[in-house]
Amino acid sequence: MSAVTCETFPEQKDAKTSRIGLIVPSSNTTMETELPELFRRQSEATGHHYTFHSARAALKNVNREELLAMVDKAGECARAVSDAAVDVIAYACLVAVMAQGPNSHEKSEKIIASAAEENGHPAAVSSSAGALVRTLQSIGARKVSMVAPYMLPLTQMVREYIEGAGIEVVDAISLEVDDNLAVGALDPQKLPMIAQGLNREGIDAVILSACVQMPSLPAVQKAEDLLGVPVITAATATAYEILKALGHEPSIAGAGGLLSGAYAPVASRRA
């Protein structure tokens, strides 16, 4: 009879693999499908591989009370996902952070970074809220219009948050869905036509999905081709910041100019 032994040391990553940690609402069904697909395309183009490791925080209905309760779990979730020795952690709930008031992504990202470091596994940190405003700033977008799935008061809150970052929201369409599972079941193929109904006079970009739960990936390139301006979503902005945190250049096809590398940051264009 031969003995069976277990490996007691953690498996080491090779240099061609990065681990991405996600903190998502418990009812989210979109970020763990759209982000892996985006990074599959990145892998196809570059040969670098990415794995995803998630922690979940309770959220069923997109209302202020549940959003505030979810934010309180950020540190706990960060400690849990950092156990996987991830290279970067993305806090993938845009409106939960924005419900805290202007620039709250800065505080949330610090809480998550501190929790991971205290757990012995420091990691770079981004949040979908921070990623969206920073990405718009990085491509020089001063005026935008957006589509959001939320009830009108939450859409207004998101609008004010973006404007608090110095970006004017010219127009916003609110789909008024409050059940988070129902948001995840919305048809992304309808988004380009919905976005056509926005006031787009003088805008620099369209936010096609101001929500990490509203599916949008199948529509991003189509909408960008149709509207003739950069099209950003909460998911594509999050992917962009993850790549930046890892020091990787975006090489993702079929998801808009941001992730194909077509839009150089403003500072680079001025250099």
- Which residues form the catalytic set? 93, 211
- Comparing CA positions, the residue from 175, 248, 247, 219 lying closest to residue 30 is 219
Q: What is the DSSP annotation of 204-234?
A: SEEEEESSSSS--HHHHHHHHHHHSS-EEEH
CA–CA gap between residue 147 and residue 94 (Å, rounded): 14
Sheet holding 17-25, edge to edge: 49-57, 17-25, 88-91, 124-127
Report, in angstroms and rounded to the nearest whole number, the Rg of the chain calculated over CA atoms.
18
- Comparing CA positions, the residue from 256, 221, 219 lying closest to residue 240 is 256
What values do phi and psi take at 90, rounded to 5? -110, 120
CA–CA gap between residue 120 and residue 47 (Å, rounded): 29
CA–CA gap between residue 55 and residue 116 (Å, rounded): 13
What values do phi and psi take at 104, rounded to 5? -65, -20
CA–CA gap between residue 176 and residue 215 (Å, rounded): 15
What values do phi and psi take at 171, rounded to 5? -155, 155
67, containing H or E segment: helix 64-71
